[in-house]
Amino acid sequence: MNISIKRSNNDEVQIYNVELENTTLLAVLNYIKTKIDPTLTYSHGCRSGVCGSCAVRVNGREQLMCEYKPKDGDVIEPIRNTRVIRDLVVDTAFVERFNQAGEAWIGSAREENISVEEMERIETQSDCILCTSCFSACPVYAVNPDFIGPFALTRVWRYVNDPREGDSSAKIAAVQTNGIWDCTLCGECVPVCPQGIAPKQDISMLRTKSAMAGYSDPNMSFGGGLDFGSPMF
């Protein structure tokens, strides 16, 4: 099986022949590093699809190395829209920066008895592992590197819906700039999420919540005929 890996040295693609079958991409990379090329650099943690640290792009689609089963001819690249440190390792410091921009946490907490139904309402969004796959798949960063991003916005929606949040108005205000209205609702973030989260849907709900709070799409004043969910570019 031949596996092509994009190396950070002049963006060259290096081909490795690996005699392994029915195993994960992480196992293949471990084999390459220990048996063929000790200079290959990549990142991983839990090895069970929980920590999200091993996200890469395989044939142009985001995958977790510890879950993906490689096949002959696969091309492996680092995730997009961020700085490559070396080979498949990227700088993920932006994760915290975007979470802060969106105030993706409990703000004015209050004591509240939470029902099973209320917990189920935010359970899916709580499963986000910050693997940054949706960030990598998002086309908005090509024109706006300050976009808060699908993973942060889906977490904002989770906390807006948390009954323990005493006042969600600050969170709604925080996502008006470089946030919900910058999203094109293209849906590229949805199929790449390993946790089955649909950021597009969460962003749409944040738009509805924002409209109820008196906010509106700033692009509407320029677009004239754009409907509520239309792409902005």
> Can you spell out the DSSP letters for 3-57?
EEEE-SSTT-EEEEE----S--HHHHHHHIIIII-TT-----SSSSSSS-TTEEE
Structure tokens belonging to residue 13: 């693609």
| pLDDT > 80? residue 233 | no
Question: CATH assignment of 2-90, given 3.30.420.40, 3.10.20.30, 1.10.3470.10, 3.10.20.90?
Answer: 3.10.20.30
Write the pLDDT tens digit of every residue in 83-105: 999 999 999 888 889 999 988 88
Please provide residue 133's backbone torsions phi and psi, each rounded to the nearest 5 degrees.
-60, -45
| pLDDT > 90? residue 42 | yes
Higher pLDDT, 122 or 187: 187
Domain boundaries, the chain: 2-90, 93-213
| pLDDT > 90? residue 214 | yes
3-state secondary structure of 32: helix
Alpha helices in 102-219 (DSSP H): 116-126, 133-137, 150-160, 169-174, 199-212
pTM given for the model: 0.84
Same fold, 2-90 and 93-213: no
pLDDT for residue 65 = 97
Does the domain formed by 93-213 have CATH 2.60.40.10? no
pLDDT for residue 109 = 66
Closest to 131 (Cα-Cα) out of 43, 206, 40: 43
Q: What is the mean pLDDT of residues 127-135?
A: 93
| pLDDT > 70? residue 227 | no
Structure tokens belonging to residue 101: 């921009």
